[in-house]
A and B are shown apart, each in its own frame.
Chain A
Amino acid sequence: MLKTNLPERFVIPPSVKTLFFIKRRPKLRFSSKWPPPELSEFFDPRTWDGTQALMTDKPEARLYHQWLEREGFISPSLLKNASDMLPQLRDDLRELEQHLMPRFWKLEQEAKYFQNLHYLYQWIFILGAFLTSVLAALSVLLYQSNVPDVWINVLGVATTVIGAATGSVSFLQTNQVPQKQWFQARNAAERMRTLYFLYIARQSPFDIADDQERVQHLRRMTLRVLRQRRVQNRASS
Chain B
Amino acid sequence: MQAANSTPTPEQKPEPPLLSPEEVRLRTEFYLQQRIHYQEAYYQNRVKEFDFNSSTMLVVSAVLMFLSSITSAWSASADSALLAFITAILPAFAAVVAAFRSLYQWDRQASIYQDTWFSLQEAELELEDVDYIDIDDYMMSFPGLIEKTETALQNEASQWGQIWVPTSIDPDDS
Contact = CB atoms under 8 A, between A and B. Distances in A.
Interface of A: 1-2, 4-6, 9-14, 18-21, 23-24, 72-74, 78, 82, 84-85, 88-89, 119, 122, 126-127, 129-130, 133-134, 136-138, 140-141, 144-145, 183-184, 186-187, 190-191, 194-195, 197-198, 200-205, 207-210, 213, 217, 220-221, 224-225, 228, 232
Contact of B164 (A138, A197, A228): A228
Given A140-B85, A140-B88, A141-B84, A72 B34 contact: yes
Interface of B: 1-5, 15-16, 18-19, 22-23, 26-27, 29-35, 37-39, 41-42, 44-45, 48-49, 51-53, 56, 81-82, 84-85, 88-89, 91-93, 95-96, 99-100, 103-104, 130, 142-143, 146-147, 150, 153-154, 157, 160-162, 164, 166-170, 173-174
B2 A204 contact: no
B146 A208 contact: no
Contacts of B91: 133
Majority DSSP secondary structure for residues of B touching A: helix
B2 A144 contact: no
B83 to A, nearest CB: 10
A122 B85 contact: no
A210 to B, nearest CB: 6
A217 to B, nearest CB: 6
Given A74-B30, A137-B88, A198-B150, A122 B3 contact: no
A4 B174 CA distance: 40
Given A194-B166, A198-B150, A207-B18, A72 B96 contact: no
Contacts of B164: 187, 191, 225, 228
Given A13-B48, A202-B19, A228-B164, A197 B92 contact: no
